[in-house]
Amino acid sequence: MAQATKPTYHTHISARHRWFDLNLKEVWQYRDLIALFTRRTFVLTYKQTVLGPAWIFLNPLISSIIYAFVFGGIAGIGTDGVPTILFYLCSNAIWIFFSSCVTKNASTFTANAGVFGKVYFPRLTIPVSNVLASIIQFFVQMLLVVVFLAYFVAVGAVHPHWEAWPLVLLVLVHLGLLGLGCGIIISSLTTKYRDLAILVTFGVQLWMYATPIVYPMSQLGAGWMRTVLMVNPVTAPVEVFRYAVLGQGTIMPGYLALSWAVTAAVVVIGVMIFNRVEKTFMDTV
């Protein structure tokens, strides 16, 4: 009786030659690793700190109190009838989410060079896990926002658009992708130009003031400054977020579409540069 022939398997490994070579199937196959990296990023952020995870609440609360005192009290900037502390808590929650997506991904290559040099896995898993960790942090911070929101709704101080709350998830996807794209572009460039790593925190801080975070859009009137700020791709989703949660804000489809277009372009360019740099970054890091 003839023996059955055993199948022969061949694994062919080759370098990527295309700029935009995004293998989402491979990234999905490593979803367990993404979950592991997400947990690691979230846990290590507050590990070996005195107050631990309490900083998730303390950071936006302290920042909101300072903003309320400086911008609301000293500068006299209004909040369109929304209680000052609630306005800044809500603004901080969405901005901290976006800024953490940018800053965490801005050090992808330099912070993980040791791991990248020892074992292969899709490098994009780490930026994706950073965004997921930021989403977890956002939802934890929103618990604080919901506590204050429930009180002010009970006393009739705010009137959220409850029917628009599902849009919050769309805002998270929008800003998560934008933060991912910006972060991996910066990370790719910092492998050669280390100065960018120093400028990231400063640049993100300036970006915040160019976004209606510490002030509402109504403070800008209808002049050219309002138009400039609406071109900012973060402004439109922030306004959607405020519209849903606080009942204050304006949804402008034209600028929202522009923001999505910019986000798509940033993600595409980011992935192209990321794929290009990951082949040779070990020689420069």
Nearest CA-CA partner of 94 in 60, 44, 126, 129: 60
Nearest CA-CA partner of 125 in 10, 24, 11, 242: 24
Its pTM stands at 0.85
- Residue 175 tokens read as 């800003």
pLDDT of residue 19: 54
Cα–Cα distance, 95 to 93 (Å, whole number)? 6
* Per-residue 3-state assignment (H helix, E strand, C coil) for 109-174: HHHCHHHHCCCCCCCCHHHHHHHHHHHHHHHHHHHHHHHHHHHHHHCCCCCCCHHHCCHHHHHHHH
Cα–Cα distance, 23 to 84 (Å, whole number)? 46
Cα–Cα distance, 229 to 226 (Å, whole number)? 5
Cα–Cα distance, 266 to 130 (Å, whole number)? 17
pLDDT of residue 1: 46
Per-residue pLDDT tens digits for 114-159: 777 777 777 888 889 999 999 998 998 899 999 999 999 999 889 9
- Residue 214 tokens read as 């510490």
Q: Where do we find the tokens 């690691």? A: 40
pLDDT of residue 167: 93
pLDDT of residue 5: 60
DSSP states along 14-56:
-----SS---HHHHHHTHHHHHHHHHHHHHHHSTT-SSGGGHH
* Per-residue 3-state assignment (H helix, E strand, C coil) for 209-236: HCCCCCCCHHHHCCCHHHHHHHHCCCHH
CB of 255 within 8 A of CB of 231? yes
Cα–Cα distance, 96 to 69 (Å, whole number)? 19
φ and ψ of 76, to 5 deg: 70, 30
Which letter does DSSP use for residue 281 in this model?
G
**Regions of the chain short of the pLDDT cut 70:** 1-23, 46-53, 195, 221, 279-285
Number of residues that make up the chain: 285
- Residue 141 tokens read as 């911070």
CB of 243 within 8 A of CB of 162? no
pLDDT of residue 234: 94
Cα–Cα distance, 204 to 224 (Å, whole number)? 23
